[in-house]
Chain A
């Protein structure tokens, strides 16, 4: 805070300093705009939120470094390299659209998000394989290496060039959309996709073209970033999180909105780094939260399209005798496990139990609630930190820590859910992702309390639960009990009205049901159970790290639920089992495990939307 005040005083005394900072912000706004504009155009036409858009940005940067290297120095080499990179990324975009997205246009949003996240993983390992783990330093732009003096401040010439790129691209896009036949078709498809198709426009080619354009823009953004920062493997998720914010703040599908929002975010970011260096991410996401609460469709966005739910779920049936016996037999077998299995198997079994509870809590929101939570790791991590910090600062014993975990996560669920219950569909997905990122950045950056990336270490179970077998039984009871409680809740009026409110919200309201309150409560309950899972995980591993709240952990949860099947209550358990097995095998046996996992996610989202439990159920239902 003191440093923030000092910075403010400095800017007041020296306005040109503030100007320089603003120009830096505008320069970063340009590349952010290039990425966000592509994301927004693609969403407007295809209604797909492309998680892999940041990966195109990253590949653009890597390709530019390589291509400039091949073509040699000089202006021709540099700009030729940029062109090669942009075209290469465009080609990659076409490949992704034709091979994967084309099969997903009619699917619920969740599967589109997941499939494109699978592409993120595949490209991440692809880049690692091709370019190695080291950051690549690119050349500076010939002719733009110097600096210009403005009011006594030295501004890099390249920054001024970038500041100009944004409006130029904006105008070019505007001309393309207003003055070409192709642009008219794109706008028509954005306004009414069905009607445009009914008028005989070839949707496939249009969609491929739009996706390629989006990829080109992201590639250009990445390639132009080369003189400013090194090409590295974190660019994809870093830029996609900010691009989401820009697109949501600007309004999905609005290019001008994206430009305005990119300016706001870029400048806020530039000043935020000076004023609150630890909390820049929080600042950016707070802007997004405020805009979404005031204008749910963003600055220039139209009201969001209705979300697609897919085929209606079958009614819930009470557990059949066979299911009850299977569950009882499984439970008996699990009780006997420590007698026959070694420590390693027990540790793995604890992981499965914890992740099954985590997945089951997420399932409450995804399935019965019909709400896409893309940041469920927030509650898991907040639970883990609740236990960890209670121990670190209050020397709380394990039992107390395990009570604090669901309490803290439930409170977080109440806070986030209150805002989230106002949004739906992809906006809800992005909001939940944003909140998870806030929680993550607080955990990673608030060194004094959380220990930052070093985490909380040395957490240990109480003596009575310290042996692998004892901790296994504790996890089994708590996780099994939690999963059972969630199952009962879904069959109770609470869960049935959650499903009812998802099916026909106006009917539910007219019957006197407060659908929003019901969904809010679901966030609290799901948060609390995820928090309990997180608390157990903290004691199982003896440590808490910011990665517990990061995007990949949220995706773990989604993959487990989808592996098991969204429309199946036993799905999360089956999913957790399959996932831990798969991940364990992969992590031990395969070098490029992200690539395999990503490919598995893509196949799951494209071909097995009803999950393993759904597929098994189908097989069992066949005569």
Chain B
């Protein structure tokens, strides 16, 4: 059964049509990458799905339930976890407290007046930090983390909430090459192990073709190709967009 179903969503900003009738799906346990040249509508499409903005028309459904235009908070309750293009962590909490906060928020106890946050779910938080390779940083302030580490912390926070659908906007942007593949290996393990659906955007084609089960290619707000990495690699429409019509077919 399709976990995420995107059906004909569209959105304009003034006279500019950013997304023009995009449809695709993500199944449980599947990794789908959304790619396209700059200005193809990836970010808008992503924000339409994660609830940051509402579509002009079309429909987004999770598990068959219509979630079109729902707020990020409502989507979280339905099991959507997301990471940001520029990682967003709580700078004035320690690394461990960041994960503890995610765990406590997942239980719906963000307003709880007692006991202190640092005494809640510490063991579970440490396990998650270990999983993303941040065990040694638990006591540090999150503001002091290196860029790649902040991205991994964000992933630990999201995984801690046990999402069924992961939305990752450029998960490896700003990371070193080795780091990129390690992070995607980690995510792939979670996707396979827990049957989570993953939708991500990415500029690094090595990451896309190495870690996606399926690829959706956007161009000028429309889907021009979708399929396995091999199929997309061979698709003439994709070759034309990325390489130009005159390019030789061997590149």
Contact = CB atoms under 8 A, between A and B. Distances in A.
Contact of A511 (B50, B97, B102): B102
Contacts of A314: 92, 141
B244 interface: no
A358 B235 CA distance: 68
Looking at chain A's contact residues, the main secondary structure is helix
Interface string A8-46: 000000000000000000000000000000000000000
A512 B76 contact: yes
B73 A512 contact: yes
Which of B77, B88, B92, B114 has the most chain A CB atoms inside 10 A of its CB? B92
Given A493-B104, A511-B105, A512-B106, A312 B111 contact: no
A266 B42 CA distance: 50
A512 B112 contact: no
A512 B72 CA distance: 8
B245 interface: no
Interface stretch (A84-92, A94-102, A396-404, A500-508): A500-508
B160 to A, nearest CB: 9
A510 B72 contact: yes
Nearest to B87: A507
Contacts, number: 115
Nearest to B112: A493
Contact of B116 (A313, A492, A507, A509): A492
Contacts of A488: 113-114, 116
B92 A499 contact: yes
A550 B211 CA distance: 63
Interface in B121-178: 141-143, 154, 157-158, 161
Interface in B73-126: 73, 76-77, 81-82, 84, 88-94, 97, 101-102, 104-106, 108-118, 120
Which of A315, A489, A504, A521 has the most chain B CB atoms inside 10 A of its CB? A315
Which of A493, A508, A510 has the most chain B CB atoms inside 10 A of its CB? A510
Contact of A510 (B76, B97, B104, B141): B76
Contact of A491 (B94, B109, B117, B157): B117
Interface in B177-211: none
A117 B211 CA distance: 58
B92 A494 contact: no
A525 to B, nearest CB: 9
A503 B93 CA distance: 9
A494 B89 contact: no
Contacts of B141: 312, 314-315
A318 interface: yes
B113 A312 contact: no
A318 B154 CA distance: 24
A500 B84 contact: no
A511 B108 CA distance: 10
A494 B110 contact: yes
Interface residues on B, range: 35 or more
B90 A491 contact: no
Interface in B18-61: 50
A315 B110 contact: no
A499 B81 CA distance: 21
B161 A494 contact: no
A494 B111 contact: yes
Contact of A315 (B93, B105, B154, B157): B93
A392 B56 CA distance: 59
Interface residues of A, number: 31
B118 A500 contact: no
A230 interface: no
A7 interface: no
A413 to B, nearest CB: 16
B71 interface: yes
Contacts of A507: 84, 88-90, 154, 157
Nearest to A517: B111
A503 B104 contact: no
A80 to B, nearest CB: 54
B114 A315 contact: no
Contacts of B117: 491-493, 496
A5 to B, nearest CB: 47
B48 to A, nearest CB: 15
B90 A503 contact: yes
A518 B110 contact: yes
Contact of B93 (A318, A499, A511): A499
A497 interface: yes
Given A491-B118, A511-B76, A496 B93 contact: yes
A578 interface: no
Contacts of B89: 503-504, 507
Given A492-B113, A492-B117, A493-B112, A500 B82 contact: no
A510 B82 contact: yes
B101 A500 contact: yes
A512 B88 contact: no
Contacts of B110: 493-494, 497, 512-514, 518
Nearest to B96: A315
B72 A318 contact: no
A557 to B, nearest CB: 23
Nearest to A514: B73
Contacts of B82: 510
Nearest to A512: B76
Contacts of B120: 493
Interface in A107-165: none
A494 B111 CA distance: 4
Contacts of B112: 492-494
A507 B84 CA distance: 8
A600 B112 CA distance: 39
B16 to A, nearest CB: 19
A503 B145 CA distance: 15
B216 to A, nearest CB: 22
Which of B90, B104, B106, B109 has the most chain A CB atoms inside 10 A of its CB? B90
Contact of B72 (A312, A491, A509): A509
A313 B113 CA distance: 21
B51 to A, nearest CB: 9
Which of A316, A497, A518 has the most chain B CB atoms inside 10 A of its CB? A497
Nearest to B82: A510
Contacts of A499: 90, 92-93
Given A318-B118, A512-B77, A521-B111, A506 B90 contact: no
Contacts of B161: 511-512
Given A315-B97, A493-B101, A493-B120, A506 B88 contact: yes
Contact of B101 (A489, A497, A517): A497
A606 B102 CA distance: 38
A491 B117 CA distance: 6
Nearest to A311: B143
Contacts of B142: 315
A502 B143 CA distance: 14
B73 A509 contact: yes
Nearest to B143: A312
Contacts of B102: 511
A316 B90 CA distance: 12
Nearest to A507: B88
A228 to B, nearest CB: 48
Contact of A313 (B92, B109, B158): B92
Nearest to B98: A500
A406 to B, nearest CB: 16
**For the complex of A and B, 7 pairs with smallest distance between CB atoms:** A507-B88, A313-B92, A512-B76, A312-B91, A491-B116, A500-B90, A504-B88
Interface of A: 312-316, 318, 488-489, 491-494, 496-497, 499-500, 502-504, 506-514, 517-518, 521
6 contacts: A315-B93, A493-B117, A497-B111, A499-B92, A500-B90, A510-B73
Given A499-B93, A503-B89, A508-B105, 12 more contacts: A312-B143, A492-B117, A494-B110, A496-B97, A499-B90, A503-B93, A507-B90, A511-B102, A511-B157, A512-B108, A512-B161, A513-B110
